[in-house]
Amino acid sequence: MKKKRFVRHYVTTKREKAGPCNICKTHTELTWDHVPPKGGIDLTAVEMEKVSELFVVGHDEIKFSESQNGVKYRTVCKSCNETIGHRYDPALNEFSLTVGRYLKSGLSFPRVVHHRAKPAAMIRAILGHLAAAKIEIDDCPFDRNVREFVLDEDKPIPDDIFIFYWLYPYEQSITMRDFAMPTVRGNFSTGIGFCQVLKYFPIAYLVINKPAYEGLEELTRYRNLSVDEEVEIPILLDRVEHAHWPEIVDDYNIVLASKTTGNAILAKPKRKKR
């Protein structure tokens, strides 16, 4: 059997017990935020294998970063943490559960399925957790933008924040902040997008300041809905990318990393052997 190579890369995910909250900036006691949030779908090893057989093309040869059981960041205050956890996370988790259950339900799937979702709440959950997933308190435009609207349901989602999503049939989760890449892979003349990713079974999300990316479905097209509004949103089941797409550096792509990008975390769930 081929040996897997791991590059050990340890990152810090906590600040002091007290400090400024990554979201409201209040100097107070900090609490742990789970990224991705707890409460999404948790497949058994057998189920995961079944889903992988159906969807995964090729093998994941790239191993980077630390492997651990879930990632949490001590970067947000209790109040922000609870608002995201109670008000927005249920929508994100419900969507993961619905899609996940669907994927493990059968053997043949149509090209596109639609699932009910609350996109405005999902958008706020995704952005809130990405804001928490950074050790240093930062004034970069993305963080500033997110702080201004994420907990205020009356404020619109900023015009230059776009979220794209696609099927992610992998068991690891990947969070990567603050990197830049061409909006068309390998083509600098098309412009550079400023990006964040939050990827975990069964859906991956790319946040970028450009209105399109590689033909992916856009979650922010529902940005004008209220937090509680539900719509049916499409998922392309015939679109499966590599686990490290799109942030992978390959023949077609280049990624410009920031200091925070180096803190990207890949986490694999601990599983009992069959």
The 3-state DSSP class for residue 143 equals helix
Q: Which is nearer to Zn ion, 135 or 267 (CB)?
A: 135
Smallest gap, in angstroms, from Cβ of residue 263 to Zn ion? Answer: 21
Q: Which stretch binds Zn ion (CB under 5 A): 21-29, 141-149, 163-171, 174-182?
A: 21-29
DSSP 116: E
Cis status of the peptide bond prior to 141, with omega within 30 of 0: no
From candidates 9, 24, 49, 227, binder to Zn ion by CB under 5 A: 24
Residues across the chain: 274
* Spatial contact of 133 and 260, defined as CB atoms under 8 Å apart: no
Q: Which stretch binds Zn ion (CB under 5 A): 15-23, 107-115, 202-210, 263-271?
A: 15-23
Kindly state the tokens that stand for 50.
């079944």
Instruction: Give the whole-angstrom CA distance, residue 162 versus residue 127.
Output: 11
* Spatial contact of 24 and 146, defined as CB atoms under 8 Å apart: no
* Spatial contact of 40 and 93, defined as CB atoms under 8 Å apart: yes
What are the φ/ψ torsions at residue 16 (nearest 5 degrees)?
A: -60, 165
Smallest gap, in angstroms, from Cβ of residue 270 to Zn ion? Answer: 30
Q: Which is nearer to Zn ion, 77 or 126 (CB)?
A: 77
- Token look-up 């969070």 returns 175
Site for Zn ion in 70-109 (CB under 5 A): 77, 80
Instruction: Give the whole-angstrom CA distance, residue 106 versus residue 97.
Output: 15
Dihedral, CA of residue 122, residue 126, residue 124 and residue 111, to nearest 10: -30
Smallest gap, in angstroms, from Cβ of residue 82 to Zn ion? Answer: 10
Smallest gap, in angstroms, from Cβ of residue 83 to Zn ion? Answer: 8
Smallest gap, in angstroms, from Cβ of residue 12 to Zn ion? Answer: 20
From candidates 13, 21, 125, 126, binder to Zn ion by CB under 5 A: 21
Smallest gap, in angstroms, from Cβ of residue 143 to Zn ion? Answer: 13
Smallest gap, in angstroms, from Cβ of residue 63 to Zn ion? Answer: 35
Does residue 130 interact with Zn ion by CB under 5 A? no
Instruction: Give the whole-angstrom CA distance, residue 198 versus residue 34.
Output: 12
Site for Zn ion in 166-195 (CB under 5 A): none
Q: Which is nearer to Zn ion, 80 or 181 (CB)?
A: 80
Q: Which is nearer to Zn ion, 137 or 254 (CB)?
A: 137
Question: What residues make contact with Zn ion under the rule CB under 5 A?
Answer: 21, 23-24, 77, 80
